[in-house]
Structure 1
Amino acid sequence: MKRYQNLILLALVALLVAVPLWMVKRPAPGPDGAEVEIFAGADGQARDLVGTIAPSYKPRVNPLMEPASGEIESMLFALQAALGAGFIGYWLGSSATRTKLRRSKSEA
């Protein structure tokens, strides 16, 4: 029974991640005809600024994978942050438990 509960919870978490991406409506194109990104971040602004300061600049490294849209890029960034926070939380919790167990063994 626990196994099914875990699978159901995992499916619900996946839906919480995926459903908002399907619900986002595309905004109308900007005044210059370019597509407007809803979740555009500082990376794109920095790239544009470097392009205006040094038009001949060529990046040394290209991305391995280019997400289809800014929303997906944002979601991947948030997923990375959540996994990192989960890992750090797990490590802190297990370290605290390990310390408590060592103290209880030394007192006994």
Structure 2
Amino acid sequence: MSRNTRINLLLLLAVAALAVLPLALGLGDGKEEPFAGSDGEAETAITEIEPDYEPWFAPLYEPPSGEIESALFSLQAAIGTGFLAYYFGLRRGRRQGEERARAELGTAPEEPAGSSGSSPGNSSDGRAASGSAPADAAAAPSAGAPAGPGATGGSAGRAV
């Protein structure tokens, strides 16, 4: 079993424990609504302290039942999770694409140094005929060629 599989199984077990343990241990027993939200708990605490308290604001929409309210909350959480999963997946995909592109550029087959054979697309002096520089040209410019951005030493970038 790989390390990632073990970690995933442990995380799944922890989530299951978080869901089952409160029910198994009876943490909600003795209450009218055993697992009510914090808004309801706060309202109960405030009315116990000051019975004449009037809320400053009223909700824009009051669902007809607690089940509908819970369903709307779950829908909101699912939509938010979808957005986060899309964002992190997009970031990971872009990073993997960049790494793959760098690996392909770094492992491109190169001609032997003494080879003067003329393959299609290469001129006899080692420069690409299409105007693009060879993969190793950026790392080590040839002797006598100007270096740096905007250098005018080859046929790259010039109209023919």
The answer to whether TM tops 0.5 is: yes
Match of 1:50 among 32, 42, 46: 46
What is the TM-score when the length of structure 1 is the normalising length? 0.58
- After superposition, the C-alpha distances for 1:67-99 in whole angstroms (9 at most, x for unaligned) are 011000011111111111111111111110010
Work out the percentage of aligned pairs sharing the same amino acid: 45
**TM-fit CA distance, 1:42:** 3.2
Q: Given the alignment of the two structures, is residue 83 of structure 1 paired with residue 79 of structure 2, yes or no?
A: yes
**Structure 1 stretches of at least 4 aligned residues deviating more than 6 Å after TM superposition:** 36-39
Cα pair 1:39 1:74 within 8 Å, conserved: no
2:126 — aligned with what? none
Query: What amino acid does structure 1 have at the position aligned with 2:54?
Result: K
> Which of the pair is proportionally richer in helix?
1
Query: What amino acid does structure 1 have at the position aligned with 2:94?
Result: R
Query: What amino acid does structure 2 have at the position aligned with 1:80?
Result: Q
| Structure with larger Rg | 2
**TM-fit CA distance, 1:37:** 6.4
How far apart, CA to CA, are the structure 2 residues paired with 1:38 and 1:74?
14
Matches within 5 A, 1:19-98: 40-98=36-94
**TM-fit CA distance, 1:38:** 8.5
Identify unmatched segments of 5+ residues in structure 1: 1-35
SS in 1 for 2:75: helix
- For this pair of structures, how many residues does the alignment match? 73
Describe the shift of the 1:106–1:98 C-alpha distance in structure 2 as closer, same or farther (beyond 3 A): same
